[in-house]
Structure 1
């Protein structure tokens, strides 16, 4: 699942900064519902990753039953966190 495609699907635009607060809340709620219903592991991870970047992801033990998936999510979180650290 392409990041821009996910943004367009849930928010109507790939420019997340252009999404009004009410539409952002509605889109993230739809994403959380879809995350709960999605059976494909890759799609579930993609939905969770976008929710994480938006600050609205469920806890790992709720989102992922499999330990390997939780580990992958932790690695993703660390990668995102390290990309926001100042060089040094």
Structure 2
């Protein structure tokens, strides 16, 4: 899944900074619904990753039934946090 394509799919454009509050919330709602319906583990992980980057991801124990997926999510969270360090 391409990041910009996901943003356009859920928010109507790739520039989230240009969205009004209502458009952002509507996009988050669409993302949450699709995440809840998705059964493919890889796609589900990709959607959760986008949600995490946006600060709207559900807790790992709620999001992932498989321990391996929770571990992968923890690794993703650590890498994302390391990528934003200002050191």
TM category (shorter chain) comes to: over 0.9
Q: Aligned-residue CA RMSD in angstroms?
A: 0.8
2:63 aligns with 63
Deviations 1:31-57 (A, max 9, x none): 111111001111111111111111100
CA deviations over 1:8-48 (Å, ceiling 9, x no partner): 00001011111111111111111111111001111111111
TM-score, structure 2 as length reference: 0.95
CA–CA separation in structure 2 for the residues paired with 1:10 and 1:19: 12
Structure 2 residue ranges without an equivalent (≥5): none
Corresponding residue for 2:34?
Answer: 34
Counterpart of 2:23?
23
For this pair of structures, how many residues does the alignment match? 87
User: Scaled by the length of structure 1, what TM-score is found?
Assistant: 0.94
1:38-57 mapped onto 2 (5 Å cutoff): 38-57=38-57
Distance 1:52 1:31 in 2: 11
CA distance in 1, matches of 2:42, 2:5: 15
